[in-house]
Amino acid sequence: MNPDIDNQAQTTQVPSTTVTEASQTAQLTGSKGYVTTILDLVINVEFDEDFPELGEILIVEQTEKATPLLVNDIKSDGTVVCLNIMSDRTIKKGMAAVRTNHGIEVPTGEKIIGRVLDFMGNPLDGGEPIDKTAPRKDIFRVENKSTKFEALKPEIMETGIKVLDFFTPFVKGRKIGVIGGAGVGKTVLTTEIIHNVAKNSGVLSFFAGVGERIREGHELFETLRDSELLDSTGMFFGQMNENPVQRSLIAISATSALEYFRDEMKKDVLFFADNMYRYVQAKNELSTIMEQIPAEGGYEATIFSDIKTLQDRLSSNENGSITSVQTIYVPADDLSDPAVQMIQHELDSTLVLSRKVAEQGIRPAVDLTKTSSSLLTPEIVGQKHYDLSVQVQSLLQKYESLKGIIAIIGENELSPEDRADFAKAKALVKYFTQRMFVTEKMLGVPGEYVKREEMLDGVDRIVKGELKLEDLEKAEPKKKDSPKPVEATEIKSDESEPSTEPTAGEVIKPGEK
């Protein structure tokens, strides 16, 4: 990735040509309003007539860079509430804001593949701006859904990750959530899914970095570049250094690009969002700035509509499918958090990552008892997979209940049947750990891709008692040893004289040197 991407991300600006064109168009209409109130990123503009529409861009002409404002609300008294999307602090009361008669339009189509863009479609990768001939789409414009929608036949997409393929099957056109607190491996697991699925399926992928770390964006870009996957991936970044307006818009901008590929180009696409909780958090920050009364859980009063509006756009129709993987940060590791619960209700499968599991050195750190999926049905995954999932869940539930008993009386005091089931559960926990391709360089251990049928056979053998924990431990590859450093005393020249010094343990006789 271009080394200047950090600086570019912090100084994102609308291209001057775009602003100039918009400003000239606005001047032709003669419709102007004037700034009356400035409260952080919220700017009120008054119009006497010809009011702008919601989602429209206004241009403040007197500022040095022709600052764009986004119309967010129109009050009954005619006051237009706008958002200062570029955080321009040079705006003053009395300045004129001119209508542009259009909203935020992001480029889409083939020209954005392999590029890193911001919420307005401006490049963050140091490359040239997207060609003006590329089709553009208003991020707030939602096309009417076809009434001829037919349910797609379930199609399982193999990820090569055992725990995911078994507990939360990756089904085309559905939504999977990776839920967990900070530092449990959500981003690593998502990157591994991108690496495995995109590389084997050849389907177009899009990634939206919503309020996450710039470092993680760099690492993802490098992983995709090293894996030669950039030619089938588009990326939108609005990360934690950006203001809440941009962070709240980045997922919407990426979704708009997806809709074009699905509806106009008739393609199936994969969508990865990291992190969907940050989208809610950005909306909540804006709500606080606008002095709106929060909901009972402490989030914005519009949290339900904010989540629902975005999630409904990540849908499939007869033109193509959108398969999404969304990471959800869990504040204070509390799965009952209102935002987490609302996002989770929109998902078909939830893969829960646990800090307690991570502390045991298990990777991926999946809590197998809390992970669930509505797609684990015989009609979708087949009878064998479904039957195994029921047996595995029964063993894991028994494993959790027996751990407390064993802590008191010891494992030897259990009945033979309980000891056998406990051993099977431990073998299952070990079996579902896996080495990642994206951590090869860091850990020095090669990644692992396990086919779905091979994974099911392995689980079946463990349930039947044919494959045990010690067998798995023996088969586990060891970490590559680093080269042994050569000590200075071990380096000898071929032309050196034979040493006259005594060796260890040699006795020197009197009179000898």
Phi (first) and psi of residue 158, to 5 degrees? -75, 135
Burial 465-496 (b: 16+ CB within 10 A, else e): eebbbeebeeeeeeeeeeeeeeeeeeeeeeee
Cβ neighbours around 323 below 10 Å, total: 24
The catalytic residue among 111, 213, 384, 461 is: 213
Q: Which of 3, 7, 57 is nearest to 33 (CA)?
A: 57
The catalytic residue among 56, 212, 216, 259 is: 212
400 is catalytic: no
212 is catalytic: yes
Cβ neighbours around 373 below 10 Å, total: 23
* Amino acid at the residue 70: L
278 is catalytic: no
Which residues does 156 contact at the CB level (< 8 Å), separation at least 6? 169, 170, 171, 172, 380, 381, 452
Say how far apart CA 78 and CA 48 lie, in whole Å.
Answer: 8
Which residues does 19 contact at the CB level (< 8 Å), separation at least 6? 59, 65, 66, 68
Cβ neighbours around 144 below 10 Å, total: 5
Say how far apart CA 476 and CA 167 lie, in whole Å.
Answer: 22
Instruction: Give the rounded distance of the alpha carbon of 326 from its chain centre.
Output: 5
The catalytic residue among 174, 186, 247, 278 is: 186
Instruction: List the catalytic residues.
Output: 186, 212-213
